[in-house]
Structure 1
Amino acid sequence: MKKYIPIITSVVAALLISVTTVGIYHFTQQQESSLRQQYYRSEVATLESPHGMRKAIQQQKNDFILVDVRSAQEYEQEHIVGAVNIPVYRDPDTSAYDEEDRIVAEFQELIRNNPKKKIIIYCYSSSCMSGRKIANMLTNYGIYVKELGIGWNEWRYDWNMWNYPHEWEITDVEDYVYSGSEPGSYNNLSGLSESGCSLSKSFEC
């Protein structure tokens, strides 16, 4: 019997390792599933579709406020039509993160003047961290904003990248940008119907 003890011990050890491995595997799977779920819920809660935003501007919806957080200089040069400016940069090269009181006060005033409207911010590009930093800072004051899924550079210079192929010929970025210190408004300069179809080719849409 004694000669079988090492064999039995090895078998039991192997079984324990197998059971433990399976348990860890399933636990890891559950963790990964939970993390994925949290990630996508966070994405949906914090990001705004640029395509949806373009259509909302085109349809002149009034349930959101778009905020450009670039410098006042850059905003006045050109910005997404309808956007207001709460700059978190003193100039294109100098951040103003230390002006927290001013930034928070401007967002608070914006919310007071536009109750129940979504606040959506954008900065230079989709990889720009300014919007994320400001959004995170605002949460400390009970202010929750969404971030546009792209930044100014993609909106202005990569129009076809995020619009659908069938829209490339019937939309024009020039209709969705504005120059000056005022937000500006969408003027439908390209001759589009509210559905986004060319008025001259409405039966083809």
Structure 2
Amino acid sequence: MKNWIAFIAVAALFGALAGAGTTMLFEKNSFKEYYSVENAVHVSPHDFVEAKKKGDSSTLLVDLRSKGEYEAKHLAGAVNIPATSMTKQEVLDAFNSLPKDKEIIVHCYASSCMLGRQVGKFLSENNFYVKELTVGWAELNRDYSDYLVSGSEAGLIPISEETAVCNGESFSC
């Protein structure tokens, strides 16, 4: 009987140690997965603006706010797809009409706003993939006022020689 108790105790100890190692491995993989996804889908406003100042035309920013809010003021270069006043099919059709040679980036009201994530999820379920700006209108209005325009036209961010696009070699952005 004592041998069985000792055997069970040793087995439980090994099981606990194996479980702890598995948990730590799972946690490390979860961190790797989280940052891989974050880097795959998010675009910083700094990187976006600096790339546009350098003349990059490979991306298109889509402002998901209402038409009136967009026309009052928006980040230069953004086009408007007012998702909350459209059916899902209209949203899908609007995104499908965008240039196919550009990476599409969406933004909505604030970094905490779920609209961009909801639209992104819906689009991905329909095989259309977009990235998301890490901030929304509230932060753009506060931090990027030099690049805001009014009206129904997208406008342009002026090309400038003084840019600081991240090159992937540093963490400065």
Write the letter of the residue equivalent to 1:132: R
C-alpha distance after superposition, 1:14-56 (max 9, x if no partner)? 2111100011111111211222221111111111122101201
- Three-state SS of the structure 2 residue aligned to 1:89 is helix
In the alignment, the residues of structure 2 paired with residue 140 and residue 24 of structure 1 have an alpha-carbon distance, to the nearest angstrom, of 35
Given the alignment of the two structures, is residue 105 of structure 1 paired with residue 93 of structure 2, yes or no?
A: yes
Q: 2:118 is matched with which residue?
A: 133
Given the alignment of the two structures, is residue 84 of structure 1 paired with residue 79 of structure 2, yes or no?
A: yes
Give the drift of 1:156.
1.2
Task: Tell me how large the CA RMSD over aligned residues is.
Answer: 1.6
Write the letter of the residue equivalent to 2:55: Q
Q: What does 1:1-205 correspond to in 2, within 5 Å?
A: 5-6=1-2, 8-90=3-85, 96=86, 99-110=87-98, 114-157=99-142, 159=143, 173-187=144-158, 193-196=160-163
Maintained 8 Å contact 1:66/1:121 = yes
Q: 1:202 is matched with which residue?
A: none
Write the letter of the residue equivalent to 1:140: E
Write the letter of the residue equivalent to 1:147: E
Write the letter of the residue equivalent to 1:106: A
In the alignment, the residues of structure 2 paired with residue 137 and residue 103 of structure 1 have an alpha-carbon distance, to the nearest angstrom, of 9
Give the drift of 1:11.
2.7
- Three-state SS of the structure 2 residue aligned to 1:186 is coil
Change (3 A) 1:21 1:70: same
In the alignment, the residues of structure 2 paired with residue 196 and residue 56 of structure 1 have an alpha-carbon distance, to the nearest angstrom, of 8
Maintained 8 Å contact 2:49/2:157 = no
Q: 2:171 is matched with which residue?
A: none
Identify which of structures 1 and 2 has the higher relative contact order when contacts are C-alpha pairs closer than 8 Å and 6+ apart.
Answer: 2
- Three-state SS of the structure 1 residue aligned to 2:104 is strand
Runs of 4+ in 1 over 6 A off after TM superposition: none
Consecutive unaligned residues in structure 2, runs of 5 or more: 165-173
Which deviates further from its counterpart, 53-62 or 177-186?
53-62
TM-score, scaled relative to structure 2? 0.88
Consecutive unaligned residues in structure 1, runs of 5 or more: 91-95, 160-172, 198-205
Write the letter of the residue equivalent to 1:31: F
In the alignment, the residues of structure 1 paired with residue 115 and residue 145 of structure 2 have an alpha-carbon distance, to the nearest angstrom, of 25
Bigger Rg, which one: 1
